Amino acid sequence: MIWETISAARDLGRLHEIATVLIRYGFGDMVRRLGMSGALERAGRVLHWKDVHAMATLAPPERVARMMEELGPTFVKLGQLLSTRVDLFPSDWIAAFEKLQDQVPPVPFEQLRAQLTADLGAPPEEVFPRLETEAFAAASMAQVHRAWLADGTAVVLKILRPGIVETIDADLRLLARLADIAESSIAEIKPYRPVEVVRQFSLSLRRELDLEGECRHAERIASNLLEYPFIVIPRVYWRWTTQRINVQEFMDGIRGRDLAAIDAAGLDRKVLAQRGTRAVLKMVLIDGFFHADPHLGNVICLPDSRLAFIDFGMVGRLSTVRREQMVDLVYALIMKDATGVVDTVIEWVGDRPVNEEALLIEVDAFLDHYHGLTLKELDFAGLLSDLAAIIREHQLVLPSDLALLFKALISLDGVGRRLDPHFNIVDEATPFLRRVMRARFQPGLLFKRGVRTGLRTLSLLSSLPQDIRGFIKSMRRGGVQIKIDVGRLDHFGHQIDRALSRLTVGIITAALIIGTSIISATSNAPSVWGMPPLGFIGFIASTVSGIWLLLSIWRGRKD
């Protein structure tokens, strides 16, 4: 029962609130299966049950998205993270999660004043001679105010909402418990690996709560993009930056979503698309550290068709091995090499069971769909989406870093096409793919890899005699065990055990009935309700065991 797992009494109210919203959106069965029956009954009385399924007429993706919006910032952020999991959800779910709005009314500035004074070390008016108390923008975790330094430099203050850390911590505790229960008790949810998704989400969200860390991300990306003078990253003013507030240069330009204003300013949309794509591809394929949310809302267009990237709360990281695997995959997709695609996917999913033959047949058919198309005609985003659908159908799960990358590349392609209808991401990616391929086979790198492999081999060979000796000793002591884990045999064993238990209870019940009848017929002892005491006890025992046997058989038929 979920109530027994709650360690902090303060979480119970929030748990009841979550159960109430789930029921109102038509997920009462899920609430029951999660063990929240008490909350179910109370919420049913509050909602009068006739309106409980009013929201159930909506399509499931829209219903879940609306439910997340109502549950608050933690669940909105969860939905936004799930929008990156193209390997777990089909396109209609991804589209619903993408619509989740992280925009809420701002907190009055007076409620921020005490926190700001503590973080800045002085009242905000003393640090910033001019400060707008009306929020420039507001989201669920933080809000932005414009200000000016003593030298007249325009800056933005990103400020965490008071109490947001405690609220999110409580929600994350509940999410972790609910995910654990859901994965173990609801078969339909288990393939989505909710425990792992919540774990990754918790790590990501706690990073976003660190505004100082966000500034470190910005400076790292700025350093990596120095060779691109047309890309601008806002300057960080570290003197006033802490975990709860960051102060950055104000970017005075046109938001990427405002295409009419971009055209009116005479900016070249084709150039903007090319420059933004090249910057993101360099982050991904060369640096392995990238802005994970490259939508037009996080881009500001500046004079001379320059671009400024903002909001580095969500970043992705790719190791050298991952980048090489991604290059192998892209190359195999472009060359329509089904075996190469399957080999890379199998490397990604690790030790999860894979029907390699069936996967190869599907991938080959999917690539054949693009037969005869030139690189310029190839829809790369569609290609990645179709591959993600195949991975999803085989119940394979991508590592979280790759799921984020898939989403970033698909979003990047959409941004490029919106700015320039003739945009083709393959054309922009080709020089980077060649650069990575050349780098992989440089003599210096090949030599280093050879030395590293040789050292590992020597280390393995040197420890081999000791390992063999230890293995033989374990065999002599009887310490070597072979474990075979066959799930179906386990289930069969449980069924046999249950059947034997029922048979035993049935035999005992029959014996009690016969014994009770003999005692009742032969005993002259004082009676209880017309039966000897021993006979009465035997009658009660046989009745209870018979009822238990009937209930066990009935439950077994349901299972």
Phi, psi of 442 (to 5 degrees): -65, 140
The CA R_g of the chain, rounded to the nearest whole Å, is: 32
pLDDT tier at 301 (50, 70, 90 boundaries)?
very high
- 3-state SS of 160-190 is ECCCHHHHHHHHHHHHHHHHHHHHHHCCCCH
CA distance 213 to 372: 47
pLDDT value, residue 554: 59
| Mean pLDDT score, 141-159 | 94
In tens, the pLDDT along 21-40 reads: 777 776 666 656 555 545 44
CA distance 60 to 66: 10
Q: Is 293 a catalytic residue?
A: yes
pLDDT value, residue 5: 45
CB distance 183 to 68 below 8 Å: no
Residue-range domain boundaries for the chain:
105-138+141-250, 316-441, 445-482, 487-558
pLDDT value, residue 432: 82
Whole-Å CA distances, 398 to 175, 197, 395, 412, 449? 21, 11, 10, 20, 27
What percent of the chain lies above the pLDDT cut of 90?
A: 24
**DSSP letters of 189-200?**
TGGG-HHHHHHH
Q: Which residue has the higher pLDDT, 297 or 131?
A: 131
> Is pLDDT of 8 > 80?
no
Average pLDDT of every residue of the chain: 78
| Mean pLDDT score, 426-450 | 73
CA distance 156 to 131: 10
pLDDT tier at 72 (50, 70, 90 boundaries)?
confident
pLDDT value, residue 24: 73
**DSSP letters of 5-54?**
H---TTHHHHHHHHHHHHHHTT-HHHHHHTT-HHHHHHHHHHHTTTTTTG
In tens, the pLDDT along 488-528 reads: 455 555 566 666 666 666 676 666 666 666 666 655 555 65
Q: What is the pTM of this model?
A: 0.69
Catalytic residue among 87, 119, 171, 293: 293
What's 299's DSSP letter? E
pLDDT value, residue 160: 93
Least confident of 16-20, 251-255, 375-379, 484-488: 484-488
> Is pLDDT of 416 > 80?
yes
pLDDT value, residue 207: 86
